[in-house]
A and B are shown apart, each in its own frame.
Chain A
Amino acid sequence: MAPYCYFPGCSLRGTGIAYEESLLEVFRLLHLPIEELRDWNCCGATSYMSIDEGSACVLSARNLALAHKGHYRDIVAPCSACYLVLRKTQDYVERYPRIGRRVEESLGPGRLRVLNEVRVRHPLEVLYTDVGLAKIKAHAVRQWPGGKVACYYGCQMVRPYADGDPDHNPVRMDELMHAAGVPTVDFPLKTRCCGGTLTGTMPPVGLRLNEILLAEAHHRGADAMVTVCPLCQYNLDAYQADLRRRSKTFSEMPVFFFTQILGWALGSDPARLGLKRAISGRKQIAQWFPKQRAEVAAHV
């Protein structure tokens, strides 16, 4: 089968490195060929749209064009921001001639139509649709030690370009978890925004948004949270110390990438899942994955 084209985006090379590690591991275990897009560039994220949408679309158009040049059918964007901007670019060049012209100026004449010949996919949707729950179930060899999880979908992956999952109430991550033998809790805030970059720009606001999410997850009896986006994971994971300082009732919990959990279920060597990169809930992680203790200790 044709290999998937992997578009890491900047976060998976920095704060979200564990996402990359576990994602590639899961694809390896499921024998899904995947290659990194050569010479990719930043998707521009929300900031570019805020300054010049023409250029924002050009940035993503370049990545799409590169993918097409590499004869890929699907470009896999694990970061929700990348996923959204790529989809939005495809949408905009079709719908708005002005944007189309701007992009064509850059890519050169005739290159516009190729952009929509590449399918933009989120790994969650690839694993759900292309692989399927049955196959995950069949390959899930390992018992999950980590108790109940709250599946958190965030925003930009479900809105406005949701792929089959209803945007008001997505369920596919939950179903994947069940297939992997991981119990989930009913989490009503599953698509409530984590605040994105606000944790950095307006700490009090950003922190509060994440406090609400973590508190509710805990209240619902979750022992951990699962995410599909590097920024969500970063926000939920990196500031729990501050949140603990703000309220004594706050209790820490690990925040995983869904690929880390799947990787574990599929029997991967935990060392290959980037578990040691967690900032919060390291105690639980050390308990749940004893093999990791040595490693984790080294970092504490």
Chain B
Amino acid sequence: MPEEYEPKIVAFFCNWCTYLAADLAGTSRIKYAPNTRVIRVMCSGRVDPQFVLDAFAKGADGVLIGGCHPGDCHYQEGNYKALRRFRLLQRLVSQMGIEPERLRLEWISAAEGDRVRAVIDEMTAQLKALGPARRSHAEAA
């Protein structure tokens, strides 16, 4: 690649913890990599596996799901449901030949603005190292 390749990460953030953490990162003027695009859902439990597969199919280099810490879910246990689905997704995705680093689930509470930076910067760096996702595989989904 001539100029540095910029991966694109689709992020699903829950309305009550991770989305607010990202807002906090903003109000605290914490700087991080500009590679994520956040889609707000009420709860990480709303993230339908199809969303993730569609994102990869349409050319996402990575998908990040953010929810409340275990026990802190605004809807009691949506994040546990998300976790179960996530495990399933991981297997599915790897069968499609997509590297595991490209799919990530993180618990980030509304108070952890700096964690948003840490996670996004780390994931961006990993994806840069990996290079663009092999879309052909993804489209098989």
Contact present between A and B (CB < 8 A): no
| Interface residues of A, Cβ cutoff 8 Å to B | none
